[in-house]
Amino acid sequence: MFRYFHLVLFFICTVQTTNGLSIQPKVVNGTDATDGKYPYAVSVRYFGYHECGGSIIGDRWILTAAHCIYSSLVSNATVLYGTVHLQNGESPESYTAKVIQLIQHDRYTALAPSYENDIGLIKLKEPLQFNDRVQPVNLAESVSPTPAGESGVLVGWGYEIDNGSVPEILQQVELMIYSDVACFEAHHGEAQIHVHLCAGYPEGGKGQCTGDSGGPLTVNGTQYGIVSWSVKPCAVAGYPGVYSKVSTYRQWIYNKTGI
């Protein structure tokens, strides 16, 4: 039986080996990204371990999912940026930013299956220095319609399969953006079209999994979605991944960040 689930991976579960053998899974059916191809992609970390994905939207601001926000752990939160190499459990000084504030949407509904308002922000202690490998992503505007039928790109360090592990290299996968109606129908009304959009393939086999939460879904370089929830098994046929719709929260983002 399918069950709805958030795609979060807590730090105490980030094990990189099985029976002593290293395994390298990834976004379901993704491929390795190269440094600089997605300069906005970051790893949100607690105690040095990957928890969620996120995107750079300003020199001191990261966009992620609300369920990736643990306000009580702000002093143990960091953001890995400017590299495709996860370096899980390590905190390379040149690629790690300290966090000063964690903001969860005040109307986030942490209840299955809808998880409405699943959006959060991370404020960094010091501004990032932009270069070829560190850049903010463009955000969909409030009036932007869902780009139904277009090809989107999801990037993240999530599992390739259920009960897998995080990969070392950032993964990329192309997904089809569903129309609002198709998204609503695929999830039998549990995906709410005013706050959600869907991406995947009817036949399944590609998409998000555990560890991809908070990561960006872009279309032609503009972020339209934030990984929120899906059903198990990951990328199952008929059940596209569900994303928080950036256009719905554009004003909220501006009110909190000025961006």
Q: Which residues are 174's β-sheet partners? A: 153
Identified catalytic residue from 165, 213, 228, 244: 213
Q: Which residue has the tokens 């008929």?
A: 238
Clarify whether 118 is annotated catalytic. Answer: yes
What are the distances in angstroms from CA 188 to CA 22, 72, 111, 221, 222?
39, 35, 17, 30, 28
Q: Give long-range contacts, CB 8 A cutoff, 24+ apart: 70-74.
A: 70/46, 70/102, 71/102, 71/104, 73/46, 73/47, 73/102, 74/99, 74/100, 74/101, 74/102
Short-list 21, 40, 43, 24, CA closest to 32: 24
Residue 98 is encoded by which pair of tokens? 């300290």
Q: Catalytic residue among 50, 67, 105, 196, which?
A: 67
**Does the active-site annotation cover 114?**
no
Distance in angstroms between the alpha carbons of the first and the last residue of the chain: 42
Check 118, 165, 187, 247 and give the catalytic one: 118
Q: Are 167 and 173 in contact (CB under 8 A)?
A: no
Between CA 114 and CA 36, with CA 48 as vertex, the angle to 5 degrees is: 80
Residue 244 a catalytic site member: no
Instruction: Round to whole Å and give the CA distance between 52 and 211.
Output: 5
Please tell me whether the peptide bond between 233 and the residue prior to it is cis, using omega within 30 degrees of 0.
yes
Active site residues: 67, 118, 213
